[in-house]
Amino acid sequence: MPERWSDYAAIFMSALALGYLVYEIDRRRRKLHDVFDVLDADDANITARLEDMVASGELHPYTGATLA
Amino acid sequence: MPRAPRGSRPRAEAGTPREAAGGHPTEASARALDVRRTEVAAPRFRIFVVDSGWNSAAHRVLQENFGLIRDLQKDDPIYVLSREQSIEFIRHHQERIGREPLIAVHDLAAMSESGTTDFHGFRLHLGLLRTPQQALLALQNFTRFLSTHRQSTDLEAEIRTDLRREGLAGAIEIILHHEAREIGE
């Protein structure tokens, strides 16, 4: 058991720092996945719609040099 | 939603030098080589660009660099939805509003194996990046990833490894108090 208040303060500050680190890593991980992620079953509708547009001839490979 | 790791699953188009090594060439192996050559020439990805035209840094960066991206990705078709098509598309997928430009890459090898019920590609929500520098960096990384992983036999595992590596790098930077790699702020 810590005997001095300063020991308690040090433990508290360490726990706070560790908590912040975990929070910050998790926040960045989520942000990264928001920006870039794999397509899986959750995205099946979107994928199917885009593939349908290609199959139906609604979309063709883009041949222009720049975006309009 | 938890996703089961499928790192060891073989892909249909797998064709590594290791497989070709050893043994005398037979008719079967020659046929396999021909098939492999055909597969290398065939598109691996279909790339879709959905952009409803928000006046954003990401929109401008995509417009300015699209020609270069197209030149670098000549082997795979790029489908660009018009503004009207993009708006109609986003109207049906409202959770994506404000995240466009969205670039979706369909992995034809994975789709031929398991359709869309499993891993079948990856996507970039470019619109989440606020500054031109962040958007350009993301676009460059994305294009590099496409080029370097075109022949990948297990794309999903490689993407997840890259994401883990990025997460680990972020953790190290937090510890070292560096903010240079910060994304989206």
Nearest residue, CB atoms, B163 vs list A32, A50, A68:
A32
Owning domain of residue B68? 44-152
Cβ distance B125 to A36 less than 8 Å, yes or no, reads yes
Residue B32 belongs to some domain of the structure: no
- Tens of pLDDT, residue by residue over B108-164, are 888 888 777 778 888 899 999 889 998 998 888 888 888 888 887 777 787 777 777
In a domain, residue B126? The reply is yes
Q: Do A35 and B118 touch (CB under 8 A)?
A: no
- How far is C-alpha B36 from the geometric centre of its chain's CA atoms? 22
Return the structure tokens found at B110.
């994975």
Q: What is the CATH number of the domain that holds B144?
A: 3.40.30
Q: Which of A40, A58, A60, A66 to mutate to test the interface with B (most CBs of B within 10 A)?
A: A40
Q: Across chain B, what does the average pLDDT equal? A: 74
In a domain, residue B29? The reply is no
A32 and B1: CB-CB below 8 Å? Answer: no
Tell me if B13 is assigned to some domain: no
Within-domain flag for B26: no
Residue A68 lies in a domain: no
Q: Give pLDDT tens digits for A40-58.
A: 888 888 888 899 899 998 8
